[in-house]
Structures are given as structure tokens and as C-alpha cells.
Amino acid sequence: MEVKKKLVVFLLISLMALSFAMPVMATEATVTQHIYEIETQEVVPFTEMTWIYWRNYGGQLQMRVWSVTNGRWLTDWMNF
């Protein structure tokens, strides 16, 4: 019984050791770099990010738009 247990432990350790030492076949790859130069100093506009806030004020549903980009309210409270 003791020999069988030692054999199983030896086989498990051998299997674990071989699983980490497996050779990996790889092909050589060529690396190309693409470098783009900016020829003009033109400003590129981005879309403004906004959040819409909703509230129920006096039984009336209202909304207001907040500009995340500029950090200010874009509208007053509007009734719906």
C-alpha cells in the first residue's frame, strides 16, 4: 500500500513538472511601426458629454441637462 501511494505521488509530481516545461513552437514575426506625423496644428473638436437629471417637483416631472465637459448646467428645469 505504501509503495502504491509513493508511486501515485511521484507520477503526479512528474506530470506537474512536465506540464510547466513543455516547449512552445513559435514563428518569427516581423514588427513594423507606423509613425504618423501631424502636419497641421488643427484643433479636433470632441463631442460634449452630458448627463440628464430628472425630478418630480410638485407632482410635475422635470428634467435638466448637466454638461460634464464644461461642469455647468446647460438648461433650466423643464416640465414634461
Band the pLDDT of 18: cuts 50, 70, 90: low
Q: Mean pLDDT lowest for which of 13-17, 21-25, 28-32, 61-65? A: 21-25
**34 vs 37: CA distance, rounded Å:** 10
Band the pLDDT of 14: cuts 50, 70, 90: confident
What percent of the residues of the chain are helix, what percent strand, and what percent coil, each to the nearest 5? 25, 25, 50
Give the list of residues 6+ apart from residue 72 with CB closer than 8 angstroms, or none.
Answer: 66
Report the candidate in 35, 73, 32 with the shortest Cα–Cα distance to residue 65.
73
pTM: 0.43
